[in-house]
Amino acid sequence: MKTVVIGIGSGASMTAIMAVYPRHKALVDAFVARGEVIGIGPFADKGGNLAIFRSREAAEAFVKQDPFVLEGLIKSYDIHEWGDQMIT
């Protein structure tokens, strides 16, 4: 079972987002290197983002450290267990 984090953006400007992005990216890279995150990125409408983690523990650890969350660029987030199923 995987875990999905859905974040809702605060409406921050692109300037504010890009000022924090290098620190956010460093955290993402660390989780990717450990194999804990499968996919991550913003929604096309820029209203938030989605991340898929291999475990709930990894998802919770990520949001506790993410500069986007800590600095208010993400106003809220939900963590959901996700029973992904392959469709063939």
- Give the C-alpha separation, 9 to 47, whole Å: 5
Question: Is residue 37 a part of any domain in this protein?
Answer: yes
User: Phi and psi for 62 in degrees, rounded to 5?
Assistant: -60, -55
Tell me if residue 2 falls in helix, strand or coil: strand
Question: Is residue 63 a part of any domain in this protein?
Answer: yes
Question: Is residue 88 a part of any domain in this protein?
Answer: no
Q: What dihedral do alpha carbons 2, 53, 34, 17 form, nearest 10°? A: 180
Say what the pLDDT of residue 87 is: 60
Question: Is residue 38 a part of any domain in this protein?
Answer: yes
Q: What dihedral do alpha carbons 10, 11, 15, 17 form, nearest 10°? A: 30
Question: Is residue 87 a part of any domain in this protein?
Answer: no
Report the CATH number at residue 32.
3.30.70.1060
Question: Is residue 54 a part of any domain in this protein?
Answer: yes
Domain that holds residue 37: 2-82
Tens-digit pLDDT profile for residues 38-88: 999 999 987 889 999 999 999 999 999 999 999 999 999 999 999 877 666
- The DSSP element (H or E) to which 50 belongs, if any, is strand 48-53
